[in-house]
């Protein structure tokens, strides 16, 4: 297939360049990072041509998809591309992501672009620093192409709660099948990282970062037909990621292939002293020791013999549609055909996960969002200015006007819910009980997995070492599974017309399969695994805390079908 382009200028520049590409190569901006890197290193394509192709698709589709809130200046992007070309041509300082355009969800702080969190409260806010993960990816040579749309402060599963408008599922838009369909019959991209997933699926960038608090990377990845990876909590720095719920928020990665996700994960999975929740170097080294002793290490890359795959029976919920069940069974059968052993498992407390999340996460959000008062930074109501001029000392009203204008309906709803949970009369009955249930769910997962949780085994390991005990065998139990396979969501991408403010509780259930991984901090990944009614749908894999590498291995196999 010949290279296509959304711009005649781009195509003419490509033809004039000294870089040549096989006629069988598909459109540049739809390549994987690994494929694009190979072409760049072989000088069959230039970094300038690469970014121009992404920009042409962005100009063509973003008005319909609404994936981006802000786009970097074109001259800045092209200058970065030329700098990458020079490094590649001169063979010096070759970086892993040289010339690769990447987007960031608009809750990652960036110095050059505004960081709005999809909210009127921060509509004009520009951070004085870059988030740690942004710095790491830029140091690796990547080019920031823009900031993607999102549910306000990450609160939502459909990307409808944004001050900048909803993100539309790009699947039929980019295939020109939806030009005559009314916008209310379009489908959601998923949230809250819908802009990031839609941008990658549309070929507007090669990868994007999102944040995953309750499934906000995996859900839109499933709806848009891309890879959505949530690492183990604490492996990737959250410094510079604007907080929704501290104990749940995780940096997520959206790409077109599992290899690309692992490549970016390897770059950003670094200890950061600025992040108090970042896993320490000692614990990282201990976790690597456990991975080194994995009984699966002797296998070839795509050989799953010896792998134990768990199927949690509690995931067979009444809301799950029959086509999704068939797809789930197909995934289970495929892993079995590759040598894996399938085991039915039970996580009895997982039925409380959804309600536990919607007690704890809003409580944390209520506390975190209290800082937005219109005094220090962010939106300030014009009513406040007149009150200040008139020396009105009613500061409660001063804050109320700003917060009423700055926050959207879903954020207000969750702040109120969280504030109620933290009040004196409700704290013990709701918040403390939810924390206890969260611990029970974590214990359930630890029982299910064969690999021990490194956070619990760390001190025991050194006690055994001091007693001259061979503790390596204790890293893995005789019983248990290595990964879990589940659906990502209960259905394909819903229509936008299905959503309204009167039935919002019904759509909280969309997170039912993704929330448990956030409650216990384990890694999880969504892999495209077919289509229903011509819309993509994914399956989810989860593994023990710190066992991200096993997750990648199994995901690469599942990706082959």
pLDDT at res. 12: 36
pLDDT at res. 179: 54
Q: Which of 60, 105, 186, 553 is catalytic?
A: 105
pLDDT at res. 94: 78
Average pLDDT, stretch 211-223?
98
* pLDDT of 472 over the 60 cut: no
pLDDT at res. 340: 96
pLDDT at res. 401: 86
* pLDDT of 13 over the 90 cut: no
Q: What is the mean pLDDT of the chain?
A: 90
CA separation for the pair 206, 39 (Å, rounded): 14
Coil, strand, or helix at residue 486?
strand
CA separation for the pair 425, 444 (Å, rounded): 30
pLDDT category of residue 25 using cuts at 50, 70 and 90: very low
Please name each of the domains of the chain with its CATH number: 57-71+99-281 (3.90.1300.10), 290-347+448-523+530-559 (3.90.1300.10), 358-430 (no CATH)
Average pLDDT, stretch 427-449?
97
Give alpha helix (H) positions in 390-537: 395-406, 409-421, 424-426, 433-448, 454-466, 504-508, 515-520
More confident residue, 77 or 505: 77
More confident residue, 386 or 272: 272
pLDDT at res. 18: 34
pLDDT at res. 378: 85
Between 22-31, 129-138, 185-194, 419-428, the lowest mean confidence (pLDDT) is in 22-31
pLDDT category of residue 295 using cuts at 50, 70 and 90: confident
* pLDDT of 182 over the 70 cut: no
**Highest mean pLDDT: which of 171-180, 399-408, 493-502?**
399-408
Residues 512-559 have pLDDT tens digits of 999 999 999 999 999 999 998 889 999 999 999 999 999 999 999 999
Residue pointed to by tokens 């809301």: 319
* pLDDT of 393 over the 60 cut: no
pLDDT at res. 180: 54
Residues 362-375 have pLDDT tens digits of 999 999 999 998 88
* pLDDT of 357 over the 70 cut: yes
* pLDDT of 444 over the 90 cut: yes
Average pLDDT, stretch 239-255?
98
Average pLDDT, stretch 10-28?
43
pLDDT at res. 294: 87
Strands 143-148, 68-71: pairing kind? antiparallel
Average pLDDT, stretch 120-137?
97
Element holding 484 (H helix, E strand): strand 483-487
- Output the CA torsion sign for 297, 302, 307, 308: positive
pLDDT at res. 385: 62
pLDDT category of residue 31 using cuts at 50, 70 and 90: very high
pLDDT at res. 474: 76
pLDDT at res. 88: 92
CA separation for the pair 545, 553 (Å, rounded): 15
* pLDDT of 202 over the 90 cut: yes
80 carries an active-site annotation: no
Residues 334-352 have pLDDT tens digits of 999 999 999 999 999 999 9
* pLDDT of 151 over the 90 cut: yes
pLDDT at res. 15: 34
Average pLDDT, stretch 313-338?
95
426 carries an active-site annotation: no
More confident residue, 472 or 151: 151
- pLDDT above 70 coverage of the chain, percent: 88
Average pLDDT, stretch 136-156?
98
* pLDDT of 7 over the 70 cut: no
pLDDT at res. 468: 63
pLDDT category of residue 383 using cuts at 50, 70 and 90: confident
Instruction: For the chain, report the end-to-end CA distance as a whole number of angstroms.
Output: 22
* pLDDT of 177 over the 80 cut: no
192 carries an active-site annotation: yes
Residues 262-274 have pLDDT tens digits of 999 999 999 999 9
pLDDT at res. 22: 41
Q: Which of 157, 192, 193, 291 is catalytic?
A: 192
CA separation for the pair 142, 84 (Å, rounded): 9
Measured CA to CA in angstroms, residue 292 lies from 63, 340, 346, 389 at distances of: 48, 20, 28, 66
Closest CA to 17 of 56, 53, 46, 50: 46
Q: Which of 5, 193, 216, 222 is catalytic?
A: 216
Average pLDDT, stretch 481-500?
93
């Amino acid at each position: 297939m010949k290279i296509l382009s959304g711009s005649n200028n781009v195509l003419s520049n490509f033809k004039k360049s000294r870089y040549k590409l096989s006629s069988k190569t598909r459109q540049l901006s739809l390549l994987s990072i690994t494929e694009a890197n190979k072409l760049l290193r072989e000088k069959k394509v230039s970094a300038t041509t690469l970014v121009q192709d992404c920009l042409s698709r962005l100009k063509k589709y973003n008005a319909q998809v609404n994936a981006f809130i802000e786009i970097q200046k074109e001259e800045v992007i092209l200058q970065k591309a030329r700098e990458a070309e020079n490094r590649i041509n001169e063979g010096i300082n070759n970086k892993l992501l040289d010339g690769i355009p990447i987007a960031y969800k608009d809750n990652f702080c960036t110095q050059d672009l505004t960081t709005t969190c999809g909210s009127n409260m921060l509509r004009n806010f520009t951070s004085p620093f870059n988030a740690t993960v942004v710095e790491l990816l830029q140091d690796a040579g990547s080019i920031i192409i823009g900031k993607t749309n999102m549910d306000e402060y990450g609160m939502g599963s459909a990307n409808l709660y944004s001050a900048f408008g909803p993100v539309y599922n790009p699947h039929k838009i980019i295939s020109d099948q939806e030009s005559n369909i009314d916008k209310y019959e379009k489908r959601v991209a998923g949230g809250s990282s819908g802009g990031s997933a839609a941008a990658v699926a549309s070929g507007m960038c090669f990868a994007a970062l999102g944040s995953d608090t309750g499934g906000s990377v995996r859900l839109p990845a499933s709806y848009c037909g891309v890879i959505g990876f949530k690492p183990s909590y604490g492996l990737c720095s959250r410094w510079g990621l604007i907080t929704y719920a501290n104990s749940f928020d995780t940096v997520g990665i959206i790409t077109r292939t599992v290899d690309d996700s692992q490549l970016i994960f390897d770059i950003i999975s670094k200890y950061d002293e600025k992040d108090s929740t970042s896993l320490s170097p000692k614990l990282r080294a201990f976790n690597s020791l456990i991975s080194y002793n994995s009984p699966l290490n002797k296998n070839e890359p795509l050989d799953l013999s010896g792998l134990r795959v768990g199927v949690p029976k509690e995931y067979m919920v009444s809301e799950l549609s029959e086509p999704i069940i068939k797809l789930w069974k197909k995934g289970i059968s495929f892993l079995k055909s590759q040598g894996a052993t399938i085991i039915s498992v039970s996580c009895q407390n997982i039925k409380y996960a959804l309600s536990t999340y919607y007690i704890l996460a809003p409580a944390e959000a209520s506390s975190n969002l209290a800082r937005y008062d219109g005094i220090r930074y962010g939106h300030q109501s014009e009513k406040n200015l007149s009150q200040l001029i008139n020396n009105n000392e009613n500061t409660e009203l001063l804050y109320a006007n700003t917060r009423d204008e700055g926050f959207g309906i879903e954020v207000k709803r969750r702040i109120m819910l969280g504030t109620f949970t933290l009040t004196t009369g409700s704290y013990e009955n709701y918040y403390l009980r939810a924390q206890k249930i969260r611990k029970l769910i974590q214990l359930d997962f630890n029982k299910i997995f064969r690999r021990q949780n490194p956070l619990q085994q760390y001190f025991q390991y050194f006690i055994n070492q001091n007693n001259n005990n061979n503790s390596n065998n204790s890293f893995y139990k005789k019983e248990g599974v290595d990964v879990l396979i589940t659906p990502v969501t209960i259905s394909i991408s819903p229509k936008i017309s299905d959503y309204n403010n009167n039935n919002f509780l019904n759509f909280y259930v969309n997170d039912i399969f993704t929330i448990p991984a956030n409650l216990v901090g384990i890694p999880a990944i969504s892999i495209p695994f077919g289509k229903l009614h011509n819309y993509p749908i994914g399956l989810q894999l989860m593994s023990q805390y710190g066992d991200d590498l096993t997750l990648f291995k199994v995901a690469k196999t599942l990706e082959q079908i």
